[in-house]
């Protein structure tokens, strides 16, 4: 384990098995349709890359980047688009792919923003959910794991742009945020 981590919450094998199940579930739910996965950068990129390889219906993907947390661990509630989608989603079956839903503020903004663009359908898939921190109600259709209220990193998730490359999801040692 990386020396900055307090404990591993989800190991590589657990993540792999769950991502396979989510891919199979999405495959069943979208039989006969084409999916457009919208990955929210940068946190969701590793999850999206593994998820799409477990989906067996025609799938394309696009990306959006929004600012929510900045460098630290405190939610601002203000959402700004840093990178928009490349193409129109009008008439498409869209799945928003997120790394983690915490307060839900980022996702609430994204759902409203995407709905206004006229997709045929819109669903939400997140790897992690911290339900105890929710401030607004957002309908999560596919959830990998519900986790306790601790700041986690790895498998795409960062602290100050670090630790995204860890193959597991772990709780950062508190002395690392304070230093």
**Active-site residue list:** 102
- Does the protein bind ligand 5GP through residue 100 (CB under 6 A)? yes
Least Å distance, CB 106 to ligand 5GP, is: 3
| 47 Cβ neighbours under 8 A, 6+ residues apart | 19, 97, 99, 127, 144, 155, 156
- How large is the angle between the packed helices 12-29 and 45-52, nearest 10 degrees? 60
Among residues 35, 48, 99, 156, the one that binds Mg ion under rule CB under 5 A: 99
Return the residues of window 103-122 that contact ligand 5GP according to CB under 6 A: 103-107
DSSP letter string, 113-139:
HHHTT--SEEEEEEEEE-GGG-SS---
Assigned token pair, 112: 């409203």
- Cα radius of gyration (the chain): 16
Cross-strand pairs, 8: 170
- Does the protein bind ligand 5GP through residue 125 (CB under 6 A)? no
DSSP 8-state code for residue 160: T
Task: Indicate which of Mg ion, ligand 5GP, none lies near residue 9 (CB less than 5 to 8 Å, by partner kind).
Answer: none
Residue of 69, 97, 79, 74 lying closest to 161 (CA atoms): 69
- Does the protein bind Mg ion through residue 144 (CB under 5 A)? no
Report d(CA 144, CA 152) in Å as an integer. Answer: 14
- Does the protein bind ligand 5GP through residue 141 (CB under 6 A)? no
Report d(CA 15, CA 47) in Å as an integer. Answer: 9
* Region binding Mg ion by CB under 5 A among candidate stretches 22-30, 122-130, 154-162, 171-179: 154-162
Task: Indicate which of ligand 5GP, Mg ion, none lies near residue 151 (CB less than 5 to 8 Å, by partner kind).
Answer: ligand 5GP
Taking residue 89's Cβ as centre, other Cβ atoms within 10 Å add up to: 18
Return the residues of window 32-91 that contact ligand 5GP according to CB under 6 A: 43, 68-69, 75
- Does the protein bind Mg ion through residue 158 (CB under 5 A)? yes
Return the residues of window 150-169 that contact ligand 5GP according to CB under 6 A: 151-153, 157-159
The footprint of Mg ion (CB under 5 A) covers: 40, 43, 98-99, 158
Residues that bind ligand 5GP (CB under 6 A): 43, 68-69, 75, 98-107, 151-153, 157-159
């Amino acid at each position: 384990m990386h020396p900055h981590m307090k404990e591993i919450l989800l190991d590589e094998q657990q993540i792999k098995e769950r991502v396979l199940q989510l891919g199979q579930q999405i495959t069943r739910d979208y039989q006969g349709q084409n999916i457009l996965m919208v990955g929210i950068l940068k946190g969701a990129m590793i999850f999206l890359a593994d998820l799409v390889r477990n989906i067996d219906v025609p799938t394309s993907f696009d990306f959006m980047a929004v600012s929510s947390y900045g460098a630290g661990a405190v939610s601002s509630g203000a959402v700004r688009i840093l990178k928009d989608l490349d193409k129109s989603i009008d008439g498409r079956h869209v799945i928003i792919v997120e790394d983690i839903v915490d307060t839900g503020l980022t996702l609430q903004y994204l759902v409203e923003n995407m709905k206004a663009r006229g997709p045929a359908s819109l669903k939400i898939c997140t790897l992690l959910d911290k339900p105890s921190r929710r401030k607004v109600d957002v309908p999560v259709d596919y959830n990998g794991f519900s986790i306790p209220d601790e700041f986690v990193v790895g498998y795409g998730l960062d602290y100050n742009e670090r630790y995204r490359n860890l193959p597991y999801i772990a709780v950062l040692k508190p002395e690392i945020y304070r230093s």
